[in-house]
Structure 1
Amino acid sequence: MRGCLSRGPIIVTSLRLRGEILVALMIACVATCYGFGLSLFPQIIPDMRRDLGFDYGFVGVVTGMVQLSTVAFALLGTWLVHRIGAARTVVASVSLCGLCLVCIAATGNIYITACLLMIAGGTGASTFVPMIDLASRVVTTEQRGLAMSLISSAPAYGVLINSGLASAFAGSGHWRIAWYVTAGLTITLAIAIAILFGRAGLLQETTGQTTTAVGDGSPSLRPIMPWGALIFVLGFINGMMPYPYLTYLSPFLREELGYSVGFASWLWATVGAVGIGAGFIVGAISSRLGSRHAMLACYSSFLIAGALIAIDPSMELALASAIFFSLGFYPIYGLLPVYVSHRAGPGLAVTVLGICTVLQGIGGTTGNFFGGMIKTSTQSFDGIYLAVAVMALIAACITMALPKD
């Protein structure tokens, strides 16, 4: 990464920090807010549930509301970028995430915990939204694709750290320590980026200096209809399908199947490790065959992942399921706007990405809610993973109906 990102100068910065340093900080911000704020809770649900006394209906509602909060924070982040600048929005989001993580560990009230989880999860969106603006000023145009692919894969690093923390503390009943550790890391990062972004001159960037497509107005969606409607359906499925898989993975493995916390943590580590390289693998498919074929590859991975764990949740097939799932999970969110940009141009892709973000949040809320209902009504998690496979098949069929890019 260093060799690729260090050739060009940093744009509009008062102190010429090397490009790879700022990109590494941007990766850390996304990894922290998405990894800790959004992905730690699903890994330690059984331990928190045992101590705080909530049921899986409550889990479904809370995780669904977290998905809705990401929609709200994505809109808030966009607004803040135009008001206070991209760098300040990122610093504020990471700081807010750290404070929420501390409070989650300190409180014992499930309703306060639910509110804090919503805010912490939402900061991932308000951290990611400004990254496109920052990348345009930190690295050159030729290096921007690599930088954004690394930033998009950042949540996988947080998942890896979470799996280690869950294995070390959650199984022994000390799940609060995991929250305190992540809070300490997040607050430390917030202080670091405030200092280094300030030295780079990024905090002095004001609304007038920030250029985005939003300020030019949103283009009409007519050029992408009727196939654009299929894109929006896929945006909804991209929220409804994968999030229940992750939300109920640890409870399924540990409570229904009786596997150890070590195995569950290892499976989560696999999701993170494979996810780090998944963006490059799927990116290569997209470059060679087109984004439509890359989407088909992702949905095929989801289909196999859901079917494997629903048919036979043995340790071996559960591991294989996690591998297939992570191959599709991280890259899929960037493929829809890429497809639209190939068909109708990048300006329209920005509008489509905003709409799909909202639909993904609504889909995630719907999926997690019905996931909790399935568990409550059937007393098993099997139906959730069968539903994941069915939705992946539907998404693959929709993708095949799209025009070639």
Structure 2
Amino acid sequence: MNTADLGLPVDVPSTALFTDQYELTMLQAALRGGAADRRSVFEVFTRRLPEGRRYGVVAGIGRVLDAVENFRFDPGVLGYLRERDIVDGPTLKWLSDYRFSGDVWGYPEGEVYFPGSPILRVEGSFAECVLLETVILSILNHDSAIAAAASRMSAAAGGRRLIEMGARRTHELAAVASSRAAYVGGFHSTSDLAAGFRYGIPTVGTSAHAFTLLHDTERDAFQAQVDSLGRGTTLLVDTYDVAEAVRTAVEIAGTDLGAVRIDSGDLLLVAHRVRQQLDELGARDTKIVVTSDLDEYAIASLAAAPVDAYGVGTQVVTGSGHPTCSMVYKLVARAGSADPKAPLHPVAKKSQSGKTSIGGRKWAARRPDADGIAEAEVIGTGQVPDALADRQLLVELIKGGEVVAREPLETARERHIRALASLPMSAMQLSRGEPVIPTEYI
């Protein structure tokens, strides 16, 4: 697997150091104490959704599969651990042969989730499973937060196109992952070429204010852009006077001008004025694109505006106020010995601070009402009721260490559309509220 597919610099040989030191020190102690080979089950879940959110969106599963497959302790990584005296010799030897050989089940990418949903279940020896905690959580917490924000923006856009353009507002590697997650959540394109190259996401982009300011006149700038990119280009019309810029744009490109972009001012008012002016000039098919610190609420406020597309930057790549989903990776069951046939026993942390977990290897299903609309997220540890047997949510992702569920990004995107359609209509409301369906444990 090429590490470029993970959004990593090409000189990073593996994902093994995308971890916290205590994963390795736990491993060392478990190896020395004789418990490292006990069969174990870890689960990823969140105890609550970010405040005010009605549902979560699973994103990053494809990147998790790549990360697990690429989790290797090569000589350079082992040398670093040895030089820093992070783990002892026997642990280094164990790590040198590390290959995850267990099983992973999870919600497929693009699916929605709720508090308590077992989003990912990792099974194998304690030693091989515990090492994956940090890299799995870092991917799922980030990507799912971005996808949830994107999904809300998509709902607010009501079918109008959304462009992800937040690369300049986040870490360069996070920008690539954000573009991918936003695409799963409903965006249509990105300005980030690395995301287009690695994940096949459609890319767009024309010019910024700097291009207009470079030229002696706005007319010169527009003429140069049209000469280079054609009449179907998008001209940025708010560098100076919007009305004059629109008039100049149509004079140069004609009524075949592709679009104009508005990046400042009262977007609702300006969009109406620009639409009227374009129509009066005969450019009735010219689109209007708006940008300028948009979030889902700003997009919703423009529902009555004659806008054809929204460009969103900062708010989508930062999760629109919720940059993480607070997912955790907890041991929920383990064997009493290293015997492969030893039965699993439920285990769970008990806490007085709201961090209590529910032990046991879990299944999950979404129960529909008489109209086929979801009414509850049902989670259990025993036998799946017959009525829910064909409603189970977890799918097999890795079997015996081998990835068995890779899929095109378009599949995850389409799945998300179907998942939203199965939820009550109140899921699309932007007002603060509780999860749109309850979680039931049986």
Higher helix share: 1
> Fold conserved (TM > 0.5)?
no
Q: Higher Cα Rg: structure 1 or 2?
A: 2
Higher strand share: 2
TM-score in terms of structure 1 length: 0.28
TM-score in terms of structure 2 length: 0.26
